[in-house]
Amino acid sequence: MGNILSIQPHLRTEKMSSSSKIKGSRVEREAVRALSVLGEAEKVPLSGALENYPGDVWWFLGEEKLIIEVKARKDGKGFTQLNKWKKGADMLLLKENYKDFMVYISLEKMLELINA
């Protein structure tokens, strides 16, 4: 008899150290607390590892359910260029050809704008 991952391949995830999992879970809980100021937020079971449970956090604003991915990096790797582009601006709009704009903004500023 195979292990649970061979029986249910949708449960497979990349190998991650337990300290990375602990950190990820901590940051996800922190995001839930911050988002809960304006609407119900909850940490997704198994942080998006299951097909029917996408994302890391779900945020409920009115009738809308927003699926949120949470990323944390010790050294800011991956965020460095975004921060250079944003400089002192309130937000950065990113546009790939033929795609929708994406927005890079601090959580504090986003909550402030939604609450205005």
DSSP string for residues in 20-47: HHHHHHHHHHHHHHHHTTTSEEEEPGGG
pTM: 0.76
- 41-97 tens-digit pLDDT: 999 988 767 888 899 999 999 899 999 999 998 888 889 999 999 999 999 999 999
Is the pLDDT at 2 greater than 90, yes or no? no
Q: Quote the percentage of the chain above a pLDDT of 90.
A: 63
pLDDT confidence tier of residue 5, bands split at 50, 70 and 90: very low
Q: Quick one: average pLDDT of 31-42? A: 95
Map out the domains of the chain as residue ranges. 14-72, 74-116
Backbone angles phi, psi at 102, to 5 degrees: -115, 150
